[in-house]
Structure 1
Amino acid sequence: MPSPDDQPNARTLTRRARAAFEALEHIVAGLGSAVLALIALMFLLLVAVLILVGVGLLLAPMALRLVHVVADQERARLTRWGPDVISPGPVPARLADALRTRSVRREIAWVGVHTCTGLTLGLVGLTVSLNIIRDGTFPLWWQLIPPSDSTASLGLWTVHDVPGALLVGLMGVGWAIVSLLLFPGMARLQALPGRRLLRPGPEVDLATRVAHLTATRAAALDAHSTELRRIERALHDGTQNRLVAVNVLLGAARRALTRDVADADAALGRAQDAAEDALRELRAVVRSILPPVLADRSLVDALTALAASCPVPCRVDADLPGRYAVSVEATVYFVVAEALTNIAKHSGARRATVLLKRHDDELRLGITDDGRGGADENGGSGLYGMRRRIEAHDGTFALASPAGGPTTLTVSLPCGL
């Protein structure tokens, strides 16, 4: 039986392994953008040579637009992995104006830097990953290849026996340890030129931020109005009708007291039942405003309770330090509750997963199921309301649900800490 001290170590190892896998995905994507940057750089150099001989001026604007397209691809990649990197807009049509534009010059510099660092780090990451697979599985297949090819990944020695093959397998474990230690730093280093050179100037960032805050403020007001209308309907259609029924039954009981005590007692019993129903519906409305479980327990405990009550088997993987703003925790809770309800009603899934973690100053939530897919925000399943609720908190919402599944809902919320 593992000791309590082993559990934090296991969680730390799991966290490092997950970070290494995410970093490897980032590195491989960066390798792809580095290949595109290499193509753009080669074309840019070709145009520069042609300009020197007097025939490349017509191709120069096209080369700068190609650099801008590749840079926008990198901005999109970096945005998926961290803070938004906003595009400064299209390249000016006139060559002189384009070359005077600060963002264009920085994109040209990024193409040169990323071609070197992105390709190098991407190839190193791929090589280490292949070495993990090759050396780690080497003891299983080394006897199936010619003796001259039976070597470790680095080709340091030729394997002739089982101990040598096991030693190569240990090298695979070593490569895995190296990846756990180096991949996150390599991914950050690979992204560094893009985050430094491709971010827009302060005037573009400020204008974009103002527009974004205007939109999210409108979304917040709309979400607030929608929530008030929902509460009003719940009170009007449910609790108010129950209280009217209680009033009617009490009046009937009062009149029956002068005629038949038994009738009065029956009316009072029905009035008591109606009052209990009204209290039950009122509690449900209150819980829908702010679930008491968030105040009494942690967000992780609240999500675990939601998963336990879901008809579809659901696993919650959440590791959150401390507590967060009440509005943020409530938003996460209601998004998970709505998503699990949709999974149970519409997806036909056999299992679901809820992943929640903090990344810098954001809470990142991912909900995945293995159902039939095809979820649509306009299909009346509450997804549009979820998006509005999240955008009201200046968060992001993304849904991927191809036909046949799986469905993945990804949410990022500023945690305010």
Structure 2
Amino acid sequence: MTRVWQRLWASLDAAARLVGGLGTALLATVVLVWIGVVVLLSCVGVGILLVPSALRVLRAVANRERARLDVLDPGPVPREARAAVRDVVVRRELAWLLLHATAGFAVGFTGIAMPLTMVQNTTYPFWYRLLPPVDNTPSFIFWDIFCDVTDLTGALVVALTGVLCGAFIVALGPALVRVQEWPGLHLLAPPAGTDLSLRVVELTATRAAALDAHAAELRRIERSLHDGTQNRLVAVNVLLGAVRRAVDRDPAAARAALDLAQDASEQALSELRAVARSILPPVLADRGLAGALAGLAGSCGVPCEMVVDVPGRCAASVEATAYFVVAEALSNVTKHSGAASAVVAVAREGDRLLLRIDDDGRGGADESGGSGLSGIRRRIEAFDGRFTLDSPPGGPTTMQVELPCGS
């Protein structure tokens, strides 16, 4: 039964994608006609002035298809007409335009005509008597196929054609999608060199983010040691000096100073432990990622449900990043969101560690608001991961993180 529902859902998804492709195919048809007019006008010299604008329109329609297929945008069209015509990307777009305006249009039309015909013909026995005899001629894919239907037997035959249309979409819908999207996926994708250059730019930015995150982490550790532990140790040194001076003349004051020195040393030790845990929490090594995150959920200021499905262990640095992301996110939930509950889901899919933190708070989270979100993004981008935040005013807030963790 589950497989049947999956098949039906795939058919609905295929129909929706075919309709989306039909929309860009209509635009491609219009642009193809316009480029044809420009070519004809160029034969008499007038259309040469229109070539740059025609190619910009072509790029706009191609980019619409790229957005639909999630293909990288190659950038603007070259300004000069000769350079634009010689450009490899423009030539590939012209080839796509021809294919999508013809075959893509035909496939998209089939994708929308089949479901409509299925609905019309399968329900035909219920309403064919309401039509006047002159209009009682059913159709298949919008073309008349029968003579006038006058009895239930003919109406049932029409309904059978509707069932055939449904079977066609269920059986061949995904294949039609692949046929329609093939030109866009292969002709609109940027050349290999362009993709590599974009990847180099991305990795350069990621490396810069990693260095910034590392520098920020060093500054945080330095501030923690300077403002906390160092001051405690200075206080211990001052108190020990006071004890040395008072031990002979005022033993009671010396004992009081020793008590204060012991308290200050214990506080310094506690702060040193906190700094050490912030560098790489030992709970990760002792209890693993699931146990460490369970501890965070237990200490969260709002009720937090933790769902962890991570078989095996990831790299220590990845687990530490996941731990700090969840810790910072739950800290934000407690301090800023006004939420009544939170849910943290962590799972591993292939070579990716996926984190999702949801809360039912007031929303409106902003990376520029000083809530630590920018630090989370820098830490994630340092691992070449992905960070998305959805926090509309009024809530709820959803944070999603992807971290590469190896195969």
State if a TM-score over 0.5 links the two structures.
Answer: yes
Distance 1:323 1:265, change over 3 A: same
C-alpha contact (below 8 Å) 2:302/2:339 kept by paired residues: yes
Alignment partner of 1:72 is 2:63: yes
C-alpha contact (below 8 Å) 2:107/2:176 kept by paired residues: no
Distance 1:305 1:22 in 2: 40
C-alpha contact (below 8 Å) 1:36/1:70 kept by paired residues: no
> Which residue matches 1:46?
33
- SS of 1:304's equivalent? helix
Stretch of structure 1 that moved more, 99-108 or 373-382: 99-108
- SS of 1:271's equivalent? helix
Aligned with residue 76 of structure 2, among 90, 94, 103: 90
C-alpha contact (below 8 Å) 1:365/1:412 kept by paired residues: yes
Matches within 5 A, 1:2-81: 30=17, 33-47=20-34, 50=37, 54=41, 57=47, 62=53, 64-76=55-67, 79=70
C-alpha contact (below 8 Å) 2:355/2:401 kept by paired residues: yes
- SS of 2:369's equivalent? coil
- SS of 2:400's equivalent? strand
Distance 2:320 2:34 in 1: 56
C-alpha contact (below 8 Å) 1:243/1:278 kept by paired residues: yes
Distance 1:184 1:326 in 2: 42
Alignment partner of 1:248 is 2:238: yes
C-alpha contact (below 8 Å) 2:24/2:65 kept by paired residues: no
- SS of 2:237's equivalent? helix
Distance 1:310 1:70, change over 3 A: farther
Alignment partner of 1:341 is 2:308: no
> Which residue matches 2:195?
205
- SS of 1:402's equivalent? coil
C-alpha contact (below 8 Å) 1:24/1:187 kept by paired residues: no
> Which residue matches 2:161?
none
Instruction: Map Cα deviations across residues 72-112 of structure 1 (whole Å, 9 max, x no partner).
Output: 34544555xxxxx4321122345554444332343455564
- SS of 2:367's equivalent? coil
Distance 1:202 1:75, change over 3 A: same
Distance 1:207 1:305, change over 3 A: same
* TM-aligned CA deviation for residue 122 of structure 1: 7.9
* TM-aligned CA deviation for residue 117 of structure 1: 10
Alignment partner of 1:394 is 2:384: yes
* TM-aligned CA deviation for residue 34 of structure 1: 1.7
* TM-aligned CA deviation for residue 66 of structure 1: 4.0
> Which residue matches 1:106?
92
Q: How many residues matched?
A: 354
Matches within 5 A, 1:77-156: 79=70, 85-93=71-79, 97-110=83-96, 112=99, 115=104, 119=108, 148=126
Instruction: Map Cα deviations across residues 150-184 of structure 1 (whole Å, 9 max, x no partner).
Output: xxxxxxxxxxxxxxxxxxxxxxxxx9xxx9xx999
Alignment partner of 1:297 is 2:287: yes
What percent of counterpart residues are identical? Answer: 56
* TM-aligned CA deviation for residue 208 of structure 1: 1.9
Q: Tell me the amino acid that sits aligned with residue 73 of structure 2.
A: S
> Which residue matches 1:171?
none
The gaps in structure 2 that reach 5 residues or longer are 128-165
Distance 1:327 1:66, change over 3 A: farther
Distance 1:188 1:290 in 2: 47
Aligned with residue 370 of structure 1, among 360, 380, 386: 360
- SS of 1:378's equivalent? helix
Distance 1:35 1:183, change over 3 A: closer
Aligned with residue 383 of structure 1, among 355, 358, 373: 373
C-alpha contact (below 8 Å) 2:353/2:402 kept by paired residues: yes
Q: Tell me the amino acid that sits aligned with residue 33 of structure 2.
A: L
Pairwise CA RMSD of aligned residues? 4.4
Aligned with residue 306 of structure 2, among 316, 319, 328: 316
Distance 1:184 1:250 in 2: 80
> Which residue matches 1:134?
none
- SS of 2:358's equivalent? strand
C-alpha contact (below 8 Å) 1:374/1:404 kept by paired residues: yes
Distance 1:321 1:122 in 2: 42
Instruction: Map Cα deviations across residues 125-160 of structure 1 (whole Å, 9 max, x no partner).
Output: x99xxx9xxxxxxxxxxxxx9x948xxxxxxxxxxx
